[in-house]
Structure 1
Amino acid sequence: MLNPMWLQTFRTLVEVGHFTQTAEKLFMTQPGVSQHINKLELACGHNLIKRYNKTFEVTEQGRRVYQYALQMEAQQSQLIESLNIDDSTVGQCRISCSGSMALHIYPQLLNIQKRYPQLTFHLEAAPKKRMLEGIQAGLSDLAIITEKPSEHLFSSEVCGEEPLVLVLPKALQNEPLTPELLIQCGLISHPDALYYLSLYFRRCGHASLNKLNPEKILPVSYINQLSQILVPISEGIGFTVLPQSAVNAFALREALHVHQPVKPVSETLYIVHKKGRELASRYQTVLSQLSI
């Protein structure tokens, strides 16, 4: 039988992509991570990764072992969960959502946990694809996403709307919003920037913005850390479009100007879980007290 600790280390390494960060995440030393990988490769009789200087690529055998590790973790979680009585205020809730939504709901989850100390939460911020893969693999039970998934694989229901806002420096609050102003200002780009811009321009009710191609706005900065996207704007640099929840969580909101569009722009939110799998009653407790 393969050592579960070796499998956990290997799974984490594949997901993180870096030996040092894997060691930090698992509270190990880097040599300890390497030792686990070497022992797992010896037990499997195959190289699971190919090392190139400070990077590596997962081999075909490594990909199979990674899938096995995911299945083992999911089966273990399901076994432990099945042994517990379905108490509406006891157990772990595994939820995934976007980074901005995590900023919005995490304080609420903490308040729920204060009321029900035997409820615990595993909240993961992830891209939509990874959320859905996690639900299928049994790593997460529930996701909050902005696009209705396949009805063949998932059950979903509308749970709210997520407002999108265009954010500029405070100094521009009295300036009329025009394509020329945005082009001159420059975009603070992030992984969802072009998608949000395109959606906002189409739905905001400004005819001139509806004709503006977002790709013609040159980025003046790029950052993929949600908590840092608004920092340059608070210092007078660039603009961007983000969910309202990200703006609400930003400490320097007074240094920002949120444009008021002719028509509010939002995305529909869906609560999603695996089709055919009944959620434990504790999820109903959480959802009934969660403001999305």
Structure 2
Amino acid sequence: MLNPMWLRTFETLADLRHFTRTAERLGLTQAAVSQHIRHLEDQLGPLLIRRPRQLEMTPAGIALLDYCGEVSRASQRLQSRIDETDDERGVISLISPGSIGLMLYPLLLDVQQANPGLVVRHRFAPCNEVLEAVLNNHYELGLVSLKPDDPRLHASLFAEEPLELVIPAGPPIHEWADLERLGFIDHPDGKAMANRLLSRRFPGAPGIRTIAVHGFSNQVGLIVEPVARGLGFTVLPRYARQAFARQDEIQVIECGAPVIDTLWLIHRAEWPLSSRAERVVAQLRARMP
């Protein structure tokens, strides 16, 4: 590894092209400047061509100057990541389940537009992957539907999201047979969500497994599309339904007492959130419906 002091001396000399002025700027003797350059040339070969009243860099010297710039930029990036006091610059990283993610991502982009120094990094993932990503420091923030009991994680209540029965626009449903005629649009959590909610509306009904499946999607933003086209009904969290653009082509059916999922914001408990993350979280909370 090249000595950082030698690199600083070389970079200053390349800028000033004068040994005496370089020594004065760095507070060194001229002999020390010459020694630093000699150490570098022992490792890299000739870096400078010394002419009367002129210094010219060799190809190796030009390459080393580029390297000095790369080191400087890397140091700045490292300092930016370590310095958590700047709430207007840096990366905001959030990993969340699909439904809440559909609602939050546009809000995050609003924050980024208002603060161009911020960079938003968001990923959709099931809760088990959210936990793993936050624990492994791949994401600073995560959202999960069950409060974790891992002491390495801090969890705070973030939002509550009810499940909804969504059917095509048109005649409402009145009985279980209406759902049977429509058919079910399934998704990875579809049957579990449907059983939880439909038991409120249709107590004593045989259950979702008795209804024919007319479609399946694992993309949360696409689950409502076949419903809007009249191909079936589905049960999913409210934010996923609200994210659908053509609300006039669907309808939500009241199912009595709501079934509500609690969403928990998690981050590592051993160190505080960055100031930019605290600021963004506060703005998101203020804009939650």
Kindly provide the CA deviation profile for residues 77-98 of structure 1, in whole angstroms up to 9, marking residues without a partner as x.
Answer: x956553352122211110111
Kindly provide the CA deviation profile for residues 76-127 of structure 1, in whole angstroms up to 9, marking residues without a partner as x.
Answer: xx95655335212221111011122121011111111122211211011111
Compute the TM-score of the two structures, normalised by the length of structure 2.
Answer: 0.68
Contact 1:172 1:257 in 2 (8 A): no
Q: Does 1:262 align with 2:256?
A: yes
Kindly provide the CA deviation profile for residues 195-254 of structure 1, in whole angstroms up to 9, marking residues without a partner as x.
Answer: 21122134xx43x34644222222111111222211111111110011111121112211
What letter matches 1:162 in structure 2? Answer: E
Cα distance change of structure 1 residues 218 and 79 upon mapping to structure 2, 3 Å threshold: farther
Contact 2:197 2:255 in 1 (8 A): no
* Mean CA deviation greater in 193-202 or 80-89: 80-89
Q: Does 1:246 align with 2:229?
A: no
What letter matches 2:252 in structure 1? Answer: V
Cα distance change of structure 1 residues 260 and 138 upon mapping to structure 2, 3 Å threshold: same
Between the two proteins, what is the percent identity of the paired residues?
29
Who is 2:150 aligned against?
A: 151
Shift of 1:148: 0.8
Distance in 2 of aligned mates of 1:192 and 1:128: 12
Who is 1:123 aligned against?
A: 122
Q: Does 1:187 align with 2:177?
A: no
Distance in 2 of aligned mates of 1:119 and 1:215: 46
What letter matches 2:140 in structure 1? Answer: D
Kindly provide the CA deviation profile for residues 132-169 of structure 1, in whole angstroms up to 9, marking residues without a partner as x.
Answer: 11111110111111111123232101112012111011
* One of 250, 275, 288 as aligned partner of 1:281: 275
Give the match's secondary structure for 1:262: coil
What letter matches 2:256 in structure 1? Answer: V
Cα distance change of structure 1 residues 190 and 80 upon mapping to structure 2, 3 Å threshold: farther
Contact 2:153 2:266 in 1 (8 A): yes
Cα distance change of structure 1 residues 198 and 227 upon mapping to structure 2, 3 Å threshold: same
Contact 1:201 1:212 in 2 (8 A): no
Give the match's secondary structure for 2:170: helix
Q: Does 1:106 align with 2:100?
A: no
Compute the TM-score of the two structures, normalised by the length of structure 1.
Answer: 0.67
Distance in 1 of aligned mates of 2:240 and 2:210: 25
Who is 1:232 aligned against?
A: 226
Who is 1:169 aligned against?
A: 168
Who is 2:87 aligned against?
A: 88
Contact 1:201 1:210 in 2 (8 A): no
Alpha-carbon RMSD across the aligned residues, in angstroms, is 2.1
Distance in 2 of aligned mates of 1:85 and 1:142: 15
Who is 1:216 aligned against?
A: 210
Contact 1:187 1:219 in 2 (8 A): yes
Cα distance change of structure 1 residues 97 and 85 upon mapping to structure 2, 3 Å threshold: closer
Cα distance change of structure 1 residues 85 and 251 upon mapping to structure 2, 3 Å threshold: closer
Distance in 1 of aligned mates of 2:193 and 2:84: 43
What letter matches 1:197 in structure 2? Answer: A
Cα distance change of structure 1 residues 286 and 229 upon mapping to structure 2, 3 Å threshold: same
Where has structure 1 moved over 4 Å in runs of 4 or more? 78-82
Who is 2:141 aligned against?
A: 142
Give the match's secondary structure for 1:114: helix
Cα distance change of structure 1 residues 233 and 82 upon mapping to structure 2, 3 Å threshold: closer
Cα distance change of structure 1 residues 121 and 279 upon mapping to structure 2, 3 Å threshold: same
